């Protein structure tokens, strides 16, 4: 009896127990990681939901959605160089998603209110302090993203306004402006809901608000041909959520003015390629570019697809394997082809 009580465990018994526990943990860990990713995806869809509510409240207030981005008619550098950068739709929406304090600290009229590195004394320069102090704004960012918070400018937003599609095969999209980035043609469409310098409303959306995309996720990493990853956000890899555009007109009549060739439209996206399409290579797929192609693919770190917001305020998961034509029909507000199955 006494011998039994003093016996304790042998080394082998101990190792067996540890091994069993190890196996159990190994079985459990992937499940835990998947549960965490599911929670992050839920948070991402909640962000889109909040932005959708903000867009709807904006529509209630002004009887139209905000434009995807706008320009400021005050010229850059005191004149002679075309319009200056206005804010993106995020700037116009701030007060509608609990960022009213930031909105009130900022200047919205003047030279480049959308570009915080503009010259001293400009509206953009005045906005620099409050915008950088606000840091990354949670509602604009997918928590699954492994991308950088910013790249020398304000933080990057992960949800781009969908301004339509380019090069569809099942219908004709003629509202296209060609913007050259990296010497390749990028196509800016005017067939969606979030346009450059133009406000749409529920009345514009003749396909029905539940069949039209409003925002799409751009938070993932895409492999380049050299094997590195790029994280093209809604505003590319350099600029951030506030950046708009400096052109006049809206597709198909975008005009950079005679003194400028800069027709980049930040924080909006025209669907041309499948979600998460790789490689991210302007050499192969014109329209992709870091700063900033109008046709960078929607992307995310969620396994198998991206989150999108539709104009009715609903949030959907779009699989990478979606038929590209279906996505293009969803992106267009009035193509007349209603997609309920995707």
* Site residues for other proteins per CB under 8 A: 76-77, 81-82, 85, 115, 117-118, 166-167, 169, 180-185, 187, 236, 238-239, 259-262, 264, 273-274, 277, 282-286, 289-292, 322-325, 327
Q: Which residues, 6+ apart, have CB-to-CB distance to 152 below 8 Å?
A: 238
Among the listed residues 48, 78, 333, 38, the one whose alpha carbon sits nearest the alpha carbon of residue 208: 333
Residue closer to other proteins, measured from CB, 118 or 301? 118
Helical spans, DSSP H, in the chain: 2-7, 11-62, 89-93, 100-105, 123-134, 324-331
For residue 11, the minimal CB distance to other proteins (Å) is 32
Kindly report the number of other CB atoms within 10 A of residue 21's CB atom.
10
Shortest Cβ distance from residue 64 to other proteins (Å)?
A: 28
| Residue closer to other proteins, measured from CB, 54 or 271 | 271
Q: For other proteins, which is the closer residue by CB, 80 or 135?
A: 80
Region of residue 304 (left: phi > 0; alpha: psi -120 to 50; beta: else): left
| CB of 148 vs other proteins, minimal distance in Å | 17
CB 44 within 8 A of CB 142: yes
Question: Residues with Cβ < 8 Å from 145, sequence gap 6 or more?
Answer: 158, 219, 220, 231, 300, 301
Shortest distance in whole angstroms from residue 83 CB to other proteins? 11
Q: CB 202 → other proteins: shortest distance, Å?
A: 29
Report the residue number, 292 or 315, with the smaller CB distance to other proteins.
Answer: 292
Look up residue 54 and give its two tokens. 């903000």
51/166 with CB nearer other proteins: 166
């Amino acid at each position: 009896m006494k011998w039994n009580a003093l016996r304790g465990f042998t080394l082998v018994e101990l190792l067996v127990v540890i091994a069993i526990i190890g196996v159990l943990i190994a079985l459990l860990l992937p499940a835990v990681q998947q549960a965490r990713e599911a929670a992050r995806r839920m948070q991402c869809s909640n962000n889109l939901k909040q932005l959708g509510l903000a867009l709807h409240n904006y529509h209630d207030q002004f009887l139209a959605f905000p434009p995807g981005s706008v320009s400021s008619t005050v010229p850059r550098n005191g004149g002679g160089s075309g319009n200056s950068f206005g804010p993106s739709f995020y700037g116009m929406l701030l007060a509608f998603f609990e960022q009213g304090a930031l909105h009130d600290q900022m200047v919205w009229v003047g030279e480049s209110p959308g570009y915080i590195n503009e010259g001293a004394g400009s509206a953009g320069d005045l906005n620099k302090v409050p915008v950088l102090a606000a840091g990354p704004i949670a509602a604009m960012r997918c928590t699954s993203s492994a991308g950088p918070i910013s790249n020398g400018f304000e933080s990057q937003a992960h949800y781009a306004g969908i301004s339509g599609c380019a090069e569809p095969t099942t219908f004709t999209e003629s509202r296209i402006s060609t913007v050259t980035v990296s010497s390749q043609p990028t196509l800016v469409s005017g067939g969606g809901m979030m346009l450059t310098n133009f406000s749409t409303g529920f009345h514009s959306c003749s396909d029905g608000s539940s069949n039209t995309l409003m925002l799409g996720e751009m938070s993932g990493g895409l492999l380049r041909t050299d094997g590195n990853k790029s994280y093209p956000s809604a505003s590319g890899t350099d600029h951030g959520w506030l950046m708009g555009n400096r052109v006049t007109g809206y597709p198909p009549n975008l005009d950079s003015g005679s003194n400028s060739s800069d027709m980049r439209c930040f924080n909006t996206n025209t669907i041309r390629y499948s979600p998460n399409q790789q490689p991210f290579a302007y050499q192969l797929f014109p329209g992709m570019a870091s700063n900033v192609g109008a046709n960078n693919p929607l992307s995310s770190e969620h396994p198998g697809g991206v989150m999108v917001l539709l104009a009715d305020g609903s949030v959907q998961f779009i699989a990478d394997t979606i038929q590209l034509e279906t996505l293009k029909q969803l992106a267009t507000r009035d193509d007349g082809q209603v997609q309920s199955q995707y």
